Amino acid sequence: MRTLSFVGPGAADLLAPLSARLDGRVATIRRDDDGSAARTTPRIADPAEEPDAVADPERNAGAAYRLGDDGGWTGAGAGETFPDLLDRLAPTFDYALVAGFSKLRLPTVVVGEDAVPGDVVERVDDASDLDLDDLADVVETTEPHVTLEALVAEAKASEDADRAGAIATFTGRVRAKNSPDDDRTEALEFEKYEGVAADRMARIERELTEREGVFDVRMHHRVGVVADGEDIVFVVVLAGHRTEAFRAVEDGINRLKDEVPIFKKETTESEEFWVHDRSE
């Protein structure tokens, strides 16, 4: 799921017209007028695919959804963090457009002079200065928000899924400490060698899938700032049996770390440094 955040006067007015220019399922997320809750208004490409019922609010962590007359879902919820919301939407939607949240680490379009922690992809003085067709192109180039659940769902949709008896996964996360006396790691920041990183990861996926008994391999490594306790990297393997699945997962993460050019900066309570510089 690709994401784009809008901050500043008139930002919320851009969500509906921009979503109409995107080909796929689009969730628009904005802050309520009182600032107390998030509201999502997903546009569904084919409403007939969805059940005409209100979702179970307990299962959705306090969020309830309604299918409106225009074929879109409207929902409001509390007790859920914004990352939780994105994780829940990612397996279902192709895009998430966000307005009114100034502290998100997402690709962001800024109207005005607000400072934001995310990557500012465009800054203008007035919302009318933005070209919606250009923004639609920008959305397509943003780093996707990927979850383990979404990768597993993609693997299960493989044409060889009927022959698979195992799915093995690996999740790497930000470790706060190596030992009890260490300074706490507050965040890691990852940068990738554009183009090269994606090509090498695709090659690893392809070569692992060529193994006997392995039917599908999915890998994803986040870039940007990843906070203490958050997930960094996923490997998913669909295979005939657990032995092939476990071996491919282990080889996959080892090869990713050894062969894919992704660089890591660590921020602790007392210092900040690039890990490859520290290891030299």
Instruction: Classify 128 as helix, strand or coil.
Output: helix
The residue with greater pLDDT, 38 or 95, is 95
CB 18 within 8 A of CB 87: no
Are 36 and 77 spatial neighbours (Cβ–Cβ below 8 Å)? no
Looking at the structure, do residues 29 and 137 belong to the same domain, yes or no? Answer: yes
d(CA 54, CA 64): 7
- Is 134 found in the same domain as 10? yes
Same structural domain, 163 and 213 = yes
Whole-model pTM over 0.85? no
Average pLDDT of the residues in 64-82:
51
The pLDDT of residue 133 is 94
Last residue of a domain, one of 81, 110, 141: 141
Checking if the pLDDT of 42 tops 70, the result is no
Let me know whether 21 and 118 are in one domain. yes
Angle separating helix axes 196-209 and 242-259, nearest 10 degrees: 160
Q: Are residues 126 and 204 in the same domain?
A: no
Q: What is the pLDDT of residue 220?
A: 96
Q: Mark whether 59 and 160 lie in a shared domain.
A: no
Per-residue pLDDT band for 85 (boundaries 50, 70, 90) equals confident
Q: Which residue has the tokens 């928000």?
A: 145
CATH code (residue 190): 3.90.1170.40
Same domain, 131 and 177: no
Residues 6+ apart with CB under 8 A from 68: 74
Distance CA 189, CA 223 (A): 7
Output the CA torsion sign for 46, 49, 55, 60.
negative
Number of domains in the chain: 2
DSSP strand pairing (272-274 vs 262-268): antiparallel
DSSP assignment, residue 175? -
Last residue of a domain, one of 102, 124, 141: 141
pLDDT digits (tens, 9 = 90+) for 91-144: 888 999 988 888 888 899 999 988 888 789 999 999 999 999 999 999 999 988
Domain final residue, candidates 141, 164, 182: 141
Q: What does DSSP assign to residue 21? A: T
Which residue in 274, 191, 190, 194 sits closest to 231, CA to CA?
Answer: 190
Would the pLDDT of 35 be above 60? Answer: no
Which residue in 30, 23, 14, 25 sits closest to 131, CA to CA? 14
Q: Find the length of the chain.
A: 280
Euclidean distance between CA atoms 237 and 199, whole angstroms: 19
Q: Are residues 132 and 253 in the same domain?
A: no
Instruction: Tell me: do 167 and 132 sit in the same domain.
Output: no
Residues 212 and 188 in one domain: yes
CATH number at residue 98: 3.40.50
239 with 224, same domain: the answer is yes
- Same domain for 46 and 135, yes or no, is yes
Domain span at residue 206 reads 148-279
